[in-house]
Amino acid sequence: MANPKRRHSHSRKGKRRAHDALSMPPLSLCPNCGTPKIPHRACPECGYYRERQVIEGAEE
């Protein structure tokens, strides 16, 4: 097995990790109740997706 001859510097390690940051998921507003939700998912508050109710929500 090959082993590294020298250790990686702090800057080299930082450059490698530059793209590892977590980002917030994009949010859109539910057209039915107006709460923020993840696009292409049913609204967790009212249960609507594409103008029809697909799951039981809080507004029952």
3-49: pLDDT as tens digits: 999 999 999 999 999 999 999 999 999 999 999 999 999 999 999 99
pLDDT value for 6:
94
Q: Count Cβ atoms within 10 A of the Cβ of residue 57 and give its class: 0-12 exposed, 13-18 middle, 19 or more buried.
A: middle
pTM of the model: 0.57
Structural domain spans, the chain: 27-60
pLDDT value for 8:
93
Could you give the C-alpha distances from 31 to 5, 12, 40, in angstroms and in order?
59, 46, 12
Would you list the DSSP string of 34-45?
A: --EE-TTS--TT
